[in-house]
């Protein structure tokens, strides 16, 4: 693929841009104007190093050591020690795409020229991104206040030639990767270590990637639900625009419009004589519409966060000011990621109820559990158990992390957002939803075959049915179901996201 650079300037990076950069579909370049801002800010910071005043993180310790002065000869060592001591994350490694996204976000926010970092440091960080040198970053250890300190420190030490990275298909020492690319480690100066680690970029990166996946997921779940609706011969009166114009919530109207479009040329709907459809069918626009509103809100907040200065202290050369504030506190990120998990979880609950309807002969009119010979065959019975289990897990994961907190650093840092916990929970919720959606798709395709309605499907649903059948054949006898579920999930991800994580 020919890679065009995305020019970073700290102002205009979008969620979709970040997603492409995380997947290494494009490279980054640095705005000349932004680099001029960075140079001006750096010059101002350096002018303060010889002065008598104390500036947090420049000539003082960190956290509860903020009132401890650091001598001029130790200012550079202070920053190196900060990166080393804060590289304390543990546990599983974060995915490479999430680390790349965090690197892009940190680079973007530093280009705002409010952090005091040297231009050369940003150039090296951009080289790591463009040459696919990705630091190894464990997932646990962030409180989301003072930012994602530990994880960002693991990224920062790679610039020193320390720690481990992924490069050219293998894990290796950072210094080795730099040497193989003809790059030299940076020599950090005053405030630079703090500038590299004090921010929300790991939580925001994970959240932004989950947001894009969630947008695709909602689209997929609506099309799979449409296949179910046709397989059950359900009425679509509830999609009448009169209903949704009477409650014009944008997300609800969008969902109803989309379902009408998908079902517009179907000859399979309305075959039953039910006066009303159950909520899991009739209320799709209301439930999915709420999730769409949540996605819209999350996109607005994360788009602002992506282009914000979130470290501390912030430097304002024009006003001659260095101000300690709290932009590193990730409460806005934690809150919207918790909200997204809550908004998306009911989609799985609706899908699970539709799975039950497909498998229950008194409702579907089809063989029990969609088995051609029910009794000797259990059919897709236990796939419903799996879906129910995942729905329960998502309900547990929907408990918000952002209502929790922690007190650290001798009480100086006495409130935390837990944003990385919110992000990690959301990612698991989304992953579970892809499995639930795959189970519904598998059941809906099986029902379409057993009901003989494949020729009656609308165009879009016929394409989806064919796509499912290209990877999973009709199940005529009991078989191990994990494989078909997994193949269906991968097929849906390929179709709607374009890749399988």
- What are the residue numbers of the active site? 56
Q: Which residues contact 459 (CB under 8 A, 6 or more apart)?
A: 265
Q: Contact at 8 Å (CB) between 298 and 210?
A: no
Question: Is residue 387 within 8 Å of residue 439, measured between CB atoms?
Answer: yes
Contact between 326 and 410 under an 8 Å Cβ cutoff? The reply is no
Check if the beta carbon of residue 131 is closer than 8 Å to that of residue 174. no
Cβ atoms 347, 430 nearer than 8 A:
no
DSSP strand pairing (170-173 vs 138-140): unpaired
d(CA 430, CA 340): 10
What does the block give as tokens for 14? 């979008």
Crossing angle of helices 201-231 and 284-306, rounded to 10°: 160
End-to-end CA distance of the chain: 19
> Is the CA virtual torsion 330, 12, 216, 268 positive or negative?
positive
Alpha helices in 49-117 (DSSP H): 75-86, 96-110
19, HSE (Cβ side, Cα atoms, 13 Å): 20
- Give the list of residues 6+ apart from residue 482 with CB closer than 8 angstroms, or none: none
Give the other-Cβ count within 10 Å of 386's Cβ.
19
Q: What angle do CA 12, 13, 15 make, to 5 degrees?
A: 130
Residues 6+ apart with CB under 8 A from 399: none
The three-class DSSP label of residue 8 is: strand
* Cα dihedral value 359, 365, 371, 372, nearest 10: -170
- The crossing angle, in degrees rounded to 10, of helices 201-231 and 15-22 is 100
DSSP string for residues in 123-180: HHHHHHHHTT-EE--EEE---SSSBSHHHHHHHHHHHTT-SEEEETTEEEEHHHHHHH
Q: Nearest Cα to 394, choosing from 224, 217, 255? A: 217
Q: Which residues contact 282 (CB under 8 A, 6 or more apart)?
A: 238, 276
Backbone angles phi, psi at 479, to 5 degrees: -145, 165
Instruction: Map residue 87 onto helix, strand or coil.
Output: coil
């Amino acid at each position: 693929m020919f890679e065009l650079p995305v020019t970073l300037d700290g102002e205009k990076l979008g969620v979709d841009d970040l997603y492409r950069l995380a997947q290494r579909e494009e490279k980054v370049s640095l705005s000349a104007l932004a680099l001029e801002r960075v140079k001006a800010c750096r010059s101002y910071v350096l002018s303060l190093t010889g002065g008598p005043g104390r500036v947090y993180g420049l000539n003082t310790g960190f956290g509860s050591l903020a009132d401890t002065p650091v001598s001029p000869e130790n200012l550079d060592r202070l920053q190196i020690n900060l990166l080393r001591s804060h590289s304390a994350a543990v546990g599983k490694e974060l995915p490479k795409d999430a680390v790349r996204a965090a690197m892009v976000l940190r680079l973007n926010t530093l280009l705002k020229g409010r952090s005091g970092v040297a231009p050369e440091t940003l150039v090296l960080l951009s080289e790591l991104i463009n040459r696919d040198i990705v630091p190894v970053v464990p997932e646990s250890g962030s409180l989301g206040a003072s930012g994602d300190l530990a994880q960002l420190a693991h990224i920062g030490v790679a610039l020193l030639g320390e720690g481990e990275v992924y490069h050219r298909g293998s894990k290796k020492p950072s210094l080795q990767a730099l040497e193989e690319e003809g790059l030299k480690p940076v020599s950090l100066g005053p405030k630079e270590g703090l500038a590299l680690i004090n921010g929300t970029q790991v939580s925001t990166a994970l959240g932004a990637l989950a947001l894009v996946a969630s947008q695709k997921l909602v689209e997929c779940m609506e099309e799979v639900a449409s296949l179910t609706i046709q397989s059950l011969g359900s009425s679509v009166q509830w999609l009448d625009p009169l209903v949704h114009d009477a409650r014009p919530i944008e997300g609800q109207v969008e969902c109803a419009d989309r379902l009408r479009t998908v079902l517009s040329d179907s000859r399979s709907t309305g075959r039953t004589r039910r006066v009303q459809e159950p909520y899991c069918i009739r209320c799709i626009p209301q439930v999915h519409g709420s999730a769409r509103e949540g996605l819209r809100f999350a996109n607005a907040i994360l788009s602002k966060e992506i282009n914000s200065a979130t470290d501390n202290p912030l430097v304002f050369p024009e006003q001659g000011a260095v101000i300690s504030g709290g932009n590193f506190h990730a409460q806005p990120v934690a809150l919207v990621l918790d909200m997204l998990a809550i908004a998306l979880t009911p989609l799985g609950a609706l899908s699970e109820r539709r799975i039950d309807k497909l498998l229950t002969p008194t409702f579907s009119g089809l063989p029990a559990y969609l088995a051609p010979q029910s009794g000797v065959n259990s059919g897709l019975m236990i796939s419903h158990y799996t879906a129910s289990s995942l729905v329960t897990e998502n309900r547990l994961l929907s408990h918000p992390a952002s209502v929790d907190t922690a007190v650290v650093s001798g009480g100086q840092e006495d409130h935390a957002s837990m944003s990385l916990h919110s992000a990690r929970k959301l990612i698991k919720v989304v992953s579970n939803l892809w499995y639930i959606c795959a189970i519904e798709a598998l059941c809906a395709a099986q029902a379409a075959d057993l009901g003989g309605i494949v020729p009656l499907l609308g165009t879009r649903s016929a394409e989806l049915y064919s796509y499912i059948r290209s990877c999973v054949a009709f199940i005529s006898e009991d078989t191990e179901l994990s494989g078909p579920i997994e193949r269906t999930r991968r097929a849906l991800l390929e179709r709607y996201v374009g890749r399988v994580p």
